[in-house]
Structure 1
Amino acid sequence: MGYLSCNAESAIAVCDCDPHNCGFHRRKKAHKNKPQRTKNNRHIREFPYTDLVSATNGFSSDHFLGKGSHGSVYKAVLDNGKLIVAVKKPTTNSNVSAENEIEILSRVHHPRLVNLIGYSSGTHCKNQLIVVEYMPNGSLFDLLHSSSHKSPGWYKRVRFALQVAKAVRVLHSGNPPVIHRDIKSSNVLIDEKWNARLSDFGLALRGQVEDVRFNRTPPAGTLGYLDPAYLNPSDVSTKSDMFSYGILLLEIISGRHAIDLNYSPSSVVDWAVPLIDGGDFVAVCDGRVDQPLDKEVVRSMAALAASCVRSNGEKRPGIVEVVECLTSVRKRVQASPIGSDPRRSVKPVDKQSVRKISSAVDIEVMSDRRSKSIGSITEVAAALTEVGTNKMGWDDDHMALVAKQAKYPLMKLKRSRSMGVPKIPDE
């Protein structure tokens, strides 16, 4: 999977630079390929244009990753194979958006974003390129809608939703805040550790509403995700992003496209919100995956999505409230087996499995009666490997989950009547 996929609806309109952003290249004059230090103490590199052309083999089809709303994206290997990146080549009429993306990402950096590495400005403006982090596992759109992928389970869906919300929180908490204006599943990319990252800042605005009025930046976004109340430049706010996020959340819950002409109504909002208001949460769930055991998971997520897509922007929740709600939901959803690939199917851990592990570890590790427990998950995992638990029919993911659950002294583990859900980092 590549950096970007353009299977969703294309973005419409463009955005002009806001007064906080204009003139990045004019202000930042540096020698080619020499890192530039930004206000947040990060280095942004200026790559020679010829180096990026060579690294993409002249932007050949072999390096092509996908096509977005503002141009094409290619994989490139730089620094003698030490750096793998994605190079975004804007279309001729997308230079303003390209410069805007550089402006935004030069000021914002976070693990939940697809971050800027550098850029290249050729002799002519049309040669301007953007270099960002390479995301090897495609987009959330691909995971939810492609027939070549097994649909992610509820634990993964909640986790992706929370990670995107945290990305939006980073943007909205800035001073001044950043309004993304194009939140959608095809702009949520999946990194090498299967974490969700928010990408594509070509339409983003940095500044207060007063700045937007001054610039008369036209409304922009993607059909199906675009806030219906956003009709004039003065209408845009962080609550516009919340509407788009609400559509994304409905998409995650239901597995349906934001707009799908195969259904009536075609809009996911017009279809889902009446069902949610009527309390029929099961009807909104993606039928391709089993529902979570805790029904409150679906109920909470559906109610949150409905509140985000309210027609009155003032009644929509803020992103901080959304993050708090999804953090609570994530604690309730039963964790799926730990693994880097959500498409892998792993059998759940049961009490019998735990007893087998306990006995096996007792034989191999507990021969020293002075030791009553294993001190860390790492030691448990090592012990499991030592006694060959893979011979029991478990794969690496199964073993990793058991190792996490076996973090208590083994004597207690053998006597326990229930197993708790392990706490797994969400970052």
Structure 2
Amino acid sequence: MKDPYHGPLPKLEMELTEGNKMAAVRPWATGLSGQLQKAFVTGVPKLNRLELEAACEDFSNVISSSSIGTVYKGTLSNGVEIAVTSVAATSPKDWSKNLEAQFRNKIDSLSNVNHKNFVNLLGYCVEKEPSTRMLVFEYAPNGTLFEHLHIKEAEHLDWGTRMRITTGMAYCLEHMHQLTPPIAHKNLNSTSINLTEDYAVKISDFGFWIESAEAEMVSYPECNVYSFGVILFEMVTGRPPYSSDSCSLKNWASDYLRGEQPLVEMLDPTLKSFQVEQLEQIGEVIKSCVTPNPKERPQMREVTARLREITMIGPDAAVPKLSPFWWAELEIISTEAR
């Protein structure tokens, strides 16, 4: 199946022939396998199941699971942490050609993101026996935004941290939407917003790639803008996106969206200090993002520009201060092949 946003199905293997430019990887001590080291020469690497099984403690270290699949936490030999997603297909008969096409399209699209506020794809695993379809990602150790907003035991996020998270999300989404072809997140919510050691954003896309035909008709970039507005409202109010009566956050905030209640009256009570002027300006951004008519919503580049004016937080300030290993330790030198 052809994805309307990601284009035709990818060619996963990249051949290096005489006369082509190639990347020479300088040696570095990260404890990665040779396959991972070759990732930046040949493209997204195909990894060995046994390698991932060892990293994930025999696949006993479960982060989350559903009827569709499981996400595991793993640790490489040098201590670098990874997240491994595995689809719940136990035999080839459970895995159609259509699903295989979507799986490979997912690899292609994720490998093209390459942004420091995104949980980047490091590799994939495909094996017949046992039947295996896995994706390997960076791991952000500080949990999800949802946990920090709604679970009492999680660490409190102050106003400045929330603004840095907001801008990091916006910069990453703008980058994704401006790629050719554009890439949009298809399940954007506060559980897909991961946080690094210094509480910078890492947008994750661990969601599995099973999509219906109807999903192709959705304008995902416009949906991303709407979802961004909902997450921003969630961050300001501290209210969960869905309550026990299944009302959406937008419905709960309908008085505010109609202009009948000041946003300051709905502020998260755990916020001990905040900037009133910023709050009012953020409220206007929220309203523009959740406009019912998708065609009237701003593009992410417009949202990003406005947030930068409001917060004075540029792209460099929004990314993790402690760079992930593959950004910090890997150096690629472009050379002419001999």
Q: Could you state the TM-score of these two structures normalised by the residue count of structure 1?
A: 0.61
1:313 to 275, 280, 294: 294
Residues of 2 paired with 1:169 and 1:307: CA distance? 16
1:66 to 64, 76, 94: 64
Aligned to 1:81: 78
- State yes or no: 1:425 paired with 2:317: yes
- State yes or no: 1:218 paired with 2:214: yes
Sort the Cα spacing of 1:68 and 1:199 in 2 relative to 1 into closer, same or farther, 3 A.
farther
Residues of 2 paired with 1:295 and 1:42: CA distance? 50
Aligned to 2:243: 260
1:139–1:185 CA contact under 8 A, matched in 2: yes
2:119–2:204 CA contact under 8 A, matched in 1: yes
Residues of 2 paired with 1:301 and 1:57: CA distance? 44
Please give the residue correspondences for 1:22-421 in structure 2 after superposition, counting only pairs within 5 Å.
Answer: 22-25=9-12, 27=13, 33=35, 43-60=43-60, 63-67=61-65, 70-78=68-76, 80-81=77-78, 83-92=80-89, 96=100, 98-123=103-128, 126-200=131-205, 202=207, 217-219=213-215, 233-261=216-244, 266-276=247-257, 277-292=259-274, 294-331=275-312
Q: Alpha-carbon deviations, 1:161-212, whole Å to 9, x = none?
A: 111111101110111111212110000111123211111164789xxxxxxx
- Please give the secondary structure, in 2, of the residue aligned with 1:58: coil
- Please give the secondary structure, in 2, of the residue aligned with 1:33: helix
Residues of 1 paired with 2:182 and 2:130: CA distance? 28
2:2–2:8 CA contact under 8 A, matched in 1: no
1:183–1:245 CA contact under 8 A, matched in 2: yes
- Using the TM superposition, name which of 129-138 and 273-282 deviates more: 273-282
1:67 partner amino acid: S
- What is the Cα deviation at residue 307 of structure 1? 1.3
- What is the Cα deviation at residue 100 of structure 1? 3.6
- Please give the secondary structure, in 1, of the residue aligned with 2:306: helix
Q: Structure 2: give runs of 5+ residues left out of the alignment.
A: 17-33, 320-338
2:2–2:9 CA contact under 8 A, matched in 1: no
Residues of 1 paired with 2:36 and 2:261: CA distance? 58
Residues of 2 paired with 1:68 and 1:323: CA distance? 34
Rg larger in structure: 1
1:35–1:44 CA contact under 8 A, matched in 2: no
Residues of 2 paired with 1:216 and 1:75: CA distance? 28
1:260–1:266 CA contact under 8 A, matched in 2: yes
Q: Alpha-carbon deviations, 1:316-374, whole Å to 9, x = none?
A: 11111111222222239xxxxxxxxxxxxxxxxxxxxxxxxxxxxxxxxxxxxxxxxxx
Residues of 2 paired with 1:58 and 1:17: CA distance? 34
- Using the TM superposition, name which of 82-91 and 136-145 deviates more: 82-91
Q: Could you state the TM-score of these two structures normalised by the residue count of structure 2?
A: 0.76
Q: CA RMSD in A?
A: 3.2
- What is the Cα deviation at residue 125 of structure 1? 8.7
Which has the higher relative contact order, 1 or 2, with Cα contacts under 8 A spaced 6 or more apart? Answer: 2
2:68–2:208 CA contact under 8 A, matched in 1: no
Q: Structure 1: give runs of 5+ residues left out of the alignment.
A: 1-14, 206-214, 220-232, 333-423
- What is the Cα deviation at residue 77 of structure 1? 2.4
Sort the Cα spacing of 1:275 and 1:238 in 2 relative to 1 into closer, same or farther, 3 A.
same
- What is the Cα deviation at residue 139 of structure 1? 0.6
- Please give the secondary structure, in 2, of the residue aligned with 1:320: helix
Sort the Cα spacing of 1:175 and 1:58 in 2 relative to 1 into closer, same or farther, 3 A.
same
